[in-house]
Structure 1
């Protein structure tokens, strides 16, 4: 029995994916997950077929579960920050 996916649940999934992706300590993985989520939602924003929407929504939930697990693992084995992650010194002028 398939349930109807409404706009608010899709937006909630999108926000949750972005929030969880931002928890990655590693810059490269964090940016990859954010890009993949944004691109995936943009690509599928014009879907009208309910079965296709349900399929893509389920894939999004699976992606969210993967992100949650991997963020925990990468937190346990945190590496040094990259050069682009360091803050620039502020000018005093």
Structure 2
């Protein structure tokens, strides 16, 4: 019987996967992998079966390695920034004004 991963191991894997997901330079990939990571870990949150937890953990570790390679390649060949990615300094939000006023 497989030993279940500890809660700390799962939390560490979750935070590492989120950090790696946020490393994508492409907005669409980044947002997709962040949403997907949160959804996957939310589904297993209440699970108590050691076999299922162990299988989930092992699968996510393998997936994390693929995600790291994908993020690296995406950073190397990242494209233009999208309009939705516009950086606004904190406290200096743009105020929309009409050009005819």
Please say whether Structure 1 and Structure 2 have the same fold, judged by a TM-score greater than 0.5: yes
Structure with max Cα Rg: 2
What is the number of equivalent residue pairs in this alignment? 93
More helix by share: 1
CA positional deviation for 1:91: 5.3
TM-score (norm 1): 0.89
Unaligned runs of 5+ in 2: 96-101
Unaligned runs of 5+ in 1: none
CA distance in 2, matches of 1:92, 1:48: 48
**In the superposition, relative to structure 1, how do residues 92 and 31 fare at CA in structure 2: closer, same or farther (>3 Å)?**
closer
Q: Does 1:29 align with 2:36?
A: no
CA distance in 2, matches of 1:63, 1:29: 15
Q: Deviations over 1:16-71 (max 9, x none)?
A: 00111111000000011100000000011111110000011111112211110001
CA distance in 2, matches of 1:17, 1:28: 17
TM-score (norm 2): 0.83
Q: C-alpha root-mean-square deviation of aligned residues, in Å?
A: 2.0
Listed as ranges, the matches of 1:3-82 within 5 Å are: 3-82=3-82
Give the ranges of 4+ consecutive aligned residues of structure 1 lying more than 6 Å apart after TM superposition: none
CA distance in 2, matches of 1:32, 1:91: 26
CA positional deviation for 1:88: 4.4
